[in-house]
Amino acid sequence: MTAKIRAGFFTVPILLLVAQLAAQQAPAEPLTASAILQLMNSSKMEEREKAFDEAAKLLASTTSPRNVQRLRLGVIELLSAENARNNISDMEAAKLGDEENAKIAARCKNDNNCVNDDDEEEDDPDTDYMHKLIATVAGFNDERAIPALAGAVGWDDNVTRALLAFGDKALAPVIDQLKGRNSFRRISALDMAIALLEIHRDASSQTRIMELIRSSLNDPWPLVRTHVVREIDCRQNRQDFAPLLQEVAKTDPFILPQDGPADDGGDGGKFYPVRADARRVLRHIQSHEPCTP
């Protein structure tokens, strides 16, 4: 084999290696708006997070009005989709919590250094993603985002500020969240609806608040009813709710097993916690005591 031929044999692998290294080091092509929107529909959380990150980058750099509109609507729809995924029942949430605790226990079983210190825990990346997504949608100041923001009620102050800024336009979408499957969402929606109505400070709004409170006192989940009773306690016109509280104090069905007598003896030795809370608020009203936060 001549020197020239041998050199040729060595040159080809070297050129291939150089080409491979160049390909590895070349920056990845940014995703197009269409590719980002498609990725937002993925069933995998990490892919949806990637799509959101890419959308935020493209929104910050693009000069195409069409792409801006497409991406904004895509991000709004992404928040709506995440809200739907989070709208699970309390039973389902409890089951997921039990499963997660079981996983933690299994990991910690043979790990002497495994601790569960809230101060040392890192932020949940999924929660961080939701906060960023909400902040972005709120920052659009776009009325088309109102239903998505209403579906995220209770997540953080960005939602509250944005919905208050939209005012009456946000009221119906927020009230619609009272139909949510999750009690925390229903509680947050009630608080948000009251805050929106309180802006007006008129008789009509107070009547509407009374209707919402009355309706929520029939919520199937006792934690919601307890929250409503305590919400009444801190209202300036709480005396107007005394007849409602008297009804709750006699009829609320939620009972808990208890060793020993009930806290105020009002239920024949049995413990109905929502009834007890209602009686406590009635005592506050009658004796002009401040509410219990």
- Tokens for 50? 């990637």
pLDDT digits (tens, 9 = 90+) for 192-249: 999 999 999 899 999 999 999 999 999 999 999 999 999 999 999 999 999 999 999 9
**Helical axes 203-216 vs 222-233, angle rounded to 10°:** 150
Half-sphere exposure of 285 (CA within 13 A, CB side): 23
Pairwise CA distance, residues 179 & 152, whole Å = 14
Hey, where are the domains in the chain? 233-293
pLDDT of 182 over the 50 cut: yes
pLDDT (0 to 100) of residue 124: 77
pLDDT digits (tens, 9 = 90+) for 236-280: 999 999 999 999 999 999 999 875 555 666 777 789 999 999 999
pLDDT digits (tens, 9 = 90+) for 53-86: 999 999 999 779 999 999 999 999 999 999 999 9
> Residues near 18 by Cβ (< 8 Å), separated by ≥ 6?
none
Pairwise CA distance, residues 78 & 209, whole Å = 31
pLDDT (0 to 100) of residue 18: 46
pLDDT (0 to 100) of residue 117: 46
pLDDT (0 to 100) of residue 2: 55
